[in-house]
Structure 1
Amino acid sequence: MARAFRPPALDDAPLAPGLYVVATPIGNLRDITLRALDVLHAADLVLAEDTRVAGKLLSAYGLSAKLERYDEHGAERTRPRAMAALAEGKRVALVSDAGTPLVSDPGYRLVKAAAEAGFPVYPIPGASALLAGLSVAGLPTDRFLFAGFPPPKSAARRTFLEELAGQRATLVFFEGGSRLAASLADMAAVLGDREAVVCRELTKLYETVVRGRLSELAADPRFEAPKGEIVVLVGPGREAEASAADADTALADALTRLKPADAASEVARALGLSRRDLYRRAMEMRAGK
């Protein structure tokens, strides 16, 4: 017999005045932290991308709060009221529809304004689709670049991707279902047929994680127009091997400043080539060969 879920007891300790940047679940409502519940319970004002979405989350935990919409359309109107509340010593919480605020939403302007005005800003960490996708992708995570949503039109999207092609890091994108297949095809054409992962509906009932080459994923019928929230992760490209001409040019420059051994070491680090081979070539260049 399944046990009924009982929300944890809330902490009634006083909450300091300031702005609280509160991460909320990206799907599964149980992925909210105890500290986030405490903050939402005590906040004098909760700023939300969509007050209906935030209202459902609060209701699920038996909470009530003064909600005000804060999205890209209403931020300019709401920000002065939020700043006034902070000036009065109130506790203001900022939440997004799902995940960590400021990741693909306009919240950074409020954080910047609050910090510049000298008000405390507190991070309340939690769920993030970006990090959830990285955690299951099986792609390198020592260096990654979050690129947000690609442009909706193919020409602009390809230009956007060309600017990222040289990044030696795992690339992370958010994408809409209606554009997913076309976006994957453009990624394959511009970035090369790299390893990639498509994560759909992370933490939700129909969570799906599919791995493959970009060309394979673009042709996968499951991605023609899938529903739900989607994260696309693309593995880093390989370094293009420097040509012999590139090596000679770099060595010639280094030899004007350094001994052959040091010149070979410098160029090896810069171009990722064999120091032994470069030293041999540096000696030949010194001998006029």
Structure 2
Amino acid sequence: MNYQSVIILGAPRSGTNMLRDVLCEFDGVGTWPCDEINYIWRHGNVTSASDEFTVEMAGPEIKNFIANEFDAFAEKQKLSFLVEKTCANSLRVPFVDKVMPEAKYIFIVRDGVDAVGSATLRWKAKLDIPYILKKIRYVPFSDLPYYAIRYFSSRLHRFFSKDGRLSFWGPQLNGLDSALKHYSLEEVCALQWQRCVELSEAALSKIPEDRVVRVKYETFVTQPESELSRVLQALGVDFDSAKVKKAVIRVSDKSIGKGRKALKDKNLEDVERLVASTLKRHGYEC
């Protein structure tokens, strides 16, 4: 392998896209031309109801398939660094690490309440055909029938459901169907955030520190140049101050607090109560 794989870990709506995009502004750094490649990661485990894969689920054939997809794309694009940011990987870091044992990780954490306010909107989003077409290019051919049925059923659920939401969105937790029956949508988003953060934390604590870079969303968007420089240095990407300044020109701190404001008082209280321990551990108010 003559390139470095870089896996961005983070809960939905935590700045993973932003981080990927600024990294890809540098020479030799690239990514797939779609939002994420969860279809590739799930190949061989496609019928699993959850994204919480175990290490044992990364058998030789699956490991080789995913690794070959990375190798082929990096070679085709002549990349020195291949960045990937599938949010569901936050739930299965040991699985990912077995597949990509030389990967470096960037773990980004955002205020969970802000992330919830933003994620709730995605559960109710309208069909985005261009977005789907970009992702469908990377669905393994044998998995297409499964995903076609799944997408259709999810959209059908949105049409008939009282709250106008999809039947699934984002990382699929163990017990997600049950959670959707017993919690509000905002609380389910909070549980998604918490599970992604806590499982990533636990797994990364067992990986050598020189392979892990930790980022706080709020710090990155308020101090983008210094934070990006720190990340680039840890990854081994060549850079200078002018390139860094140009790369972060679109980074904004305007979304800080936006998700909190979008939640109604009762929803805010319910969300904070549900994930208070995780919020506090990362220095967020509740």
TM-score, with length taken from structure 1: 0.30
Relative contact order higher in (CA < 8 Å, ≥ 6 apart): 2
Give the structure with the higher percent helix: 2
Structure of larger gyration radius: 1
Structure number having the greater strand percentage: 1
TM-score (norm 2): 0.30
